[in-house]
Every structure is written in structure tokens, then in C-alpha cells.
Amino acid sequence: MKRIVILLLVTAQSVFAQDYEILFTKQVNNNDNIHSINQDGRLKQITNHPRKDSSPVMSPDGEYMVFTSERKGWWKIWLMNLESGEFKQLTDASSAEYSPSWSPDGNQIVFVSSRNGGSEIYTMTRNGNAIKQISTGRNNTMPSWASNGRIYYSSQVNGVYQIMSAKPDGSDTQQLTTGKGDKLMPQLSPDQRMMLYYGNLHGNMEIYKMELASGQAIRLTNNPLMDIRARWSPDGSLIVFERGNKRNNQQIYLMRADGSEQKPLTRSGYNYAPSFAVKVD
């Protein structure tokens, strides 16, 4: 079968033992399209549309890519079949809808919508059906559906974004963090021991990971530019993230899970919203 898909590659020249392909958004002449890049800098364009496509995440089986797009109106959630190249619009509210993430079995998607007035977390099937609001509070964002079956997201509590956790039906909501500094885009590690996020505890946006058992946070980056939107590799050994000023210098970086060997994958322009591709046999 012919697939429009990204594969895992191993190269002798790689700094890291495993050379993962990265999906990301690249802006050229104010037009955003989805691309992939490997550790050696080989670039491939995945979407090509005059309206903006952004924030790609591949399904666990490697057959689909969910993303946000302005193909029809403000940001909405779309699905791309990576084998056929066909596209399907999944949401169509009057508000912006964004930040999609797959359930571990690939049958559902969690995302953010303001369709009821505030920024809330919703789930739906991967066909866009059975849309359900699972959060309350009007300031909830950046969800991820973890391998333990729970959904993690950032929620504003007394003016500070803290990490929350809930079951997929919205029950058993738990607040995992307290204290100063926003904690954004929580991502549970594959071994379910660490929580990755970015925040401004030390003034600038940096990448952190928190040990769930102890609650101890470890700072992974320290750069004058903003380090944001970090994600784990499928095996938990690497982290991809953005570094830049969110204007004309926003680059995709890769580093080890301990924060060492930070390496730029892109070197010019505005590049954002990276995620790891999954292996397809």
C-alpha cells in the first residue's frame, strides 16, 4: 500500500541513537502548512493549502493525522487519511477549536473549544461524533490523552495555570500541581513516571518535567528565548520542543529526556507545534 506517511529511520550520522521523524508547522509567506523533518534535516511537506494548517498529531496506528486548520472559517479540527490523502472536517462550531490529542486506542480525540463561552476540554470520536464537554471553569486548555487512560490539561486556578487530570468522562478530576508559575501543555511520559510541561516559574518560558511520585520539578532548559510546547518521543528517551520569539525566529529543537544535547532541527523562519511521528510497519 502506498502511504503518505512518515517513517522512523536510524542513521549512522545521528547524534541520538534513534532518529525520529518530527511533524511540525512551517510558516512561509504567512501561510502555514504541515511538514516533517528528520534529525539530518530532510524536510517533507505534508499539506499544501492556501489557508493555514497547524498542530499535527499522528494517530497511534499511523494511519491518520489530526490537526487544526482554517480551511473553512476560524481554527477547526480536521483529519487526514495518510494513506489516501483525503481530508475530513471534524468540528464546526463558531468558536476556535484546537489542541487535538489522540486517545491511546486511536478511537477518540480530545481538544479545546470555546463553543459554550469559555475555553473548555471536549472529547469526540475520531469521526467527529459524540462531542462531550468534560471540564468546567472556562479557562482550560492544552489537553493530552495519556497511556494510563486519563486526560491531562492545564486549568487556571486563582490566576495561575495548574496541571489537572480527569477520567475521559470528566469524572475524578484531580489537581496535580500548586504554587507559582503557569504549567502548560502537560504530557505524561510513556513509563507514566514523569509529567512534561512548559512554564514561567523562573520568569521566562522553559521546559520542565515533574516526578509524579514526589512532585519534584526538574528544569530542563535555560535559554533567553522561550522554550515551549514540549512532547515525549514514543520511547520516552527524547523530547521535541520549540525555541524562539514566536515572530520571525521560532525553531524546532530536539533534546534528551534529561535536557542534554539540545539540537536545532530547523534553523530559520517560523516553525512550531512539533510532535513525534509513530512507526508504521
The beta strands (E) that lie in 6-95 are given as 22-28, 31-37, 43-45, 53-58, 64-69, 76-81, 87-89
Report DSSP letters for 92-137, one per residue. --SS-EEEEEE-TTSSEEEEEE-TTSSBEEEEEETTS-S-EE---S
Distance of alpha carbon 179 from alpha carbon 141, whole angstroms: 18
Distance of alpha carbon 104 from alpha carbon 265, whole angstroms: 27
Distance of alpha carbon 68 from alpha carbon 175, whole angstroms: 28
Taking residue 230's Cβ as centre, other Cβ atoms within 10 Å add up to 25
pLDDT of residue 268: 94
What are the pLDDT digits (tens) for 230-277? 999 999 999 999 999 988 899 999 999 999 999 999 999 999 999 999
Domains of the chain: 22-276 (2.120.10.30)
Number of H helices, E strands in the chain: 0, 24
pLDDT of residue 11: 34
Helix (H, G, I), strand (E, B) or coil at 10: coil
| Cα–Cα–Cα angle for 60, 13, 266, rounded to 5 degrees | 65
Tell me the pLDDT band of 2, cut-offs 50, 70 and 90.
very low
Q: Write the CB contacts of 249 (distance below 8 Å, at least 6 apart in sequence).
A: 225, 268, 269, 270
Distance of alpha carbon 141 from alpha carbon 166, whole angstroms: 13
Tell me the pLDDT band of 182, cut-offs 50, 70 and 90.
very high
Tell me the pLDDT band of 34, cut-offs 50, 70 and 90.
very high
| Cα–Cα–Cα angle for 94, 119, 146, rounded to 5 degrees | 115
What are the pLDDT digits (tens) for 3-25? 444 433 333 344 565 678 999 99
Query: What is the residue-averaged pLDDT of the chain?
Result: 93
Distance of alpha carbon 257 from alpha carbon 255, whole angstroms: 6
Residue 125 above 50 pLDDT? Answer: yes
